Amino acid sequence: MLLNALVFIKGIPEAGGDVPGRTVTTAGIVLAAWAALIVGIAALLFQRRDIS
- pTM, two decimals, is 0.76
Question: What pLDDT score does 28 carry?
Answer: 92
Question: What pLDDT score does 8 carry?
Answer: 86
- Mean pLDDT, 10 residues at a time, the chain of 52 residues: 84 69 88 96 87 66
Question: What pLDDT score does 38 carry?
Answer: 97
* Range(s) of the domain holding residue 17: 2-49
Question: What pLDDT score does 17 carry?
Answer: 61
The C-alpha R_g of the chain, in whole angstroms, comes to 15
Question: What pLDDT score does 10 carry?
Answer: 84
CA distance 42 to 30: 18
Question: What pLDDT score does 37 carry?
Answer: 98
Q: Hey, what long-range contacts does 34-38 have (CB within 8 A, 24 or more apart)?
A: 34/1
CA distance 35 to 20: 22
CA distance 13 to 22: 6
From residue 31, alpha-carbon distances to 24, 49, 50 in Å are 11, 27, 28
Number of domains in the chain: 1
